Amino acid sequence: MLPHRPRVPFGPISCKAIPRPTRRYLGHAIAPGSPLASVVRLRMHGEIKLRRWCPFTAEQVISWDRGFIWSATARIHGFPVRGFDRLVDGQGMVRWKLLGIVPVITASGLDVTRSAAGRVMAESVWLPSVLCRDGLTWTARDVLHPQVHLTIGPEAAALRLCIDADGVLQSVSLSRRSNPDNTRYRYENFGGLVEQEHRFAGFTIPTRLRVGYFASTNRFESDGEFFRATIDDAAYR
């Protein structure tokens, strides 16, 4: 997906210009000396809410300079629905088909692109090395709440992290443009609660999490949660 480039190892110089809470998070998420990756390939399984909770399996590639592709198979009443969500070279698209034949969802355009950009910003915690890049602005509300300002294509947002005293990620959220109730596109608080983590090749990332809209409110579980995922493998380059 990308030409080969030398990977710089992670170390104190990678974090020298960012607030202490951010250094605590990145120091936990990235082992010293780990080559800073720009691409991750994930394998996952879980449940997605399509009126009812349905099992899914998926593979995802996040290439920070190009976008992402999430290819999945969900099962509704035992029937497979296959498709993808993607943001590639600045263009977002969603396409799903029942039995691989009958179109279920096809969407593209600026709102879909903005929504996809917000998604990949939130999922940067699966590729924490990109949060060490030059030019990012980090701030911190307090010692447990760092945030970073990200821009992808036409979309800009503040990615808010909640960590514990050891730098372990507890939750992530941002304002994402989307259409959670199929009425109209608008900005809603979107995020995930981290329930488990694991280290892959020097990167400690969330491996079990619950994701949805209305994060940090009492509407999350009743109206907002739509995605529960377990990461089975992560490969970096």
| CA pseudo-torsion sign 67, 217, 205, 29 | positive
Check residue 9 and give its pLDDT. 76
Residue 96 predicted with pLDDT over 60: yes
Q: Is residue 146 part of a domain?
A: yes
pLDDT tier at 203, thresholds 50, 70, 90: very high
The CATH code of the domain that includes 134 is: 2.50.20
What share of the chain in percent tops pLDDT 90? Answer: 82
Lowest mean pLDDT segment, chosen from 5-14, 25-34, 170-179, 224-233? 5-14
d(CA 142, CA 129): 22
Structural domain contains residue 222: yes
Q: What angle do CA 44, 152, 220 make, to 5 degrees?
A: 55
- Residue 236 falls inside a structural domain: no
User: What's the rounded Cα separation, in Å, for the pair 84 and 168?
Assistant: 30
Q: Give how many domains the chain has, as a whole number.
A: 1
**Which pLDDT value is given to residue 124?**
98
Any domain includes 7: no
What's the confidence (pLDDT) of residue 181? 85
Which residues span the domain enclosing 227?
Answer: 12-231
190 domain-assigned? yes
Residue 216, both tokens: 């940090």
Where is pLDDT greater, at 9 or 89?
A: 89
Residue 16 has pLDDT above 70, yes or no: no
What SS3 class is residue 12? helix
Is the predicted pLDDT of residue 25 greater than 80, yes or no? yes
Q: Please give the share of the chain, as a percent, with pLDDT higher than 70.
A: 95
**What DSSP string runs through 64-88?**
TTTEEEEEEEEEETTEEEEEEEEEE
Tell me, yes or no, whether 3 lies in a domain. no
**Cα dihedral across residues 182, 188, 189, 192: positive or negative:** positive
d(CA 41, CA 237): 9
State the pLDDT confidence band at 12, using cuts at 50, 70 and 90: low
pLDDT computed for residue 4 by the predictor: 46
* Phi, psi (deg, nearest 5) at residue 131: -80, 0
Greatest C-alpha distance within the chain? 52
Is residue 132 predicted with pLDDT exceeding 70? Answer: yes
Residue 117 lies in a domain: yes
User: Tell me: the pLDDT tens digits for 133-174?
Assistant: 988 999 999 999 999 999 999 999 999 999 999 999 999 999
6 found inside a domain: no
